Copies of this chain bind each other. A is one copy, B any other.
């Protein structure tokens, strides 16, 4: 109590960043948006996009919300608005020494981008150093700071939530075929999904009204597939 009063302004404060694990599907593989660092520390290494939280100067203006900061960073890096992208906070990283310059906390979000929007990203990004990289192809030590940890935890959380949330529908086009949705599950879980069994699972979602049929078909190299849409 008393300690709280002393602490109020006296103690040092950490810098707080918001970092994004922006994911999409490219050729049936999970890709993450990375930025090539142009300055120390970790100059030349790849890093997750992110930036510092804007904090106001006083009582009247306390600055921006965490979710707003995440949406702002997303827009700056990709040109995409939060209405098109699933953006969810999943953990906060604060190990001392994770940034050699100073104490930095990173509030981490994952952002799931539909494949058709992902193509536009390069144009929208402010940095020419921005690129999509396959998650599976990242070698140990390729990322700056503790960003490998952040990426790993993001994927763990997504795997936990894949079957119990609407997360997967944010990685397919607005209208999608069942095989397309299956590639999302295969990519996130890291193992192929049986076509027949997966279809049955989705069929239950349709019966329950979670999905509905959409007009048109998806043309591929073989038999076209019917399209569906996520409801509400």
Chain A residues at the B interface, C-beta cutoff of 8 Å = 1, 3-5, 7-9, 11-16, 37-39, 51-59, 62-66, 89, 91-97, 100-103, 105, 107, 127, 160, 164
Contact = CB atoms under 8 A, between A and B. Distances in A.
A65 B52 contact: no
Given A12-B63, A65-B96, A160-B164, A52 B7 contact: yes
Contact of A102 (B38, B59, B64, B94): B59
Determine chain A's interface SS by DSSP, over half rule.
Answer: loop
- What is the oligomeric copy number? 2
Nearest to A36: B1
Considering residues A5, A8, A57, A100, which has the most beta carbons from chain B within 10 angstroms of its beta carbon?
Answer: A8
A62 B97 CA distance: 7
B11 A14 contact: no
Contacts of A13: 13-16, 55
Contacts of A65: 94-96
Given A12-B63, A66-B92, A66-B93, 7 more contacts: A5-B39, A13-B16, A14-B63, A62-B97, A62-B102, A63-B96, A65-B95
Contact of A103 (B3, B62, B101, B105): B62
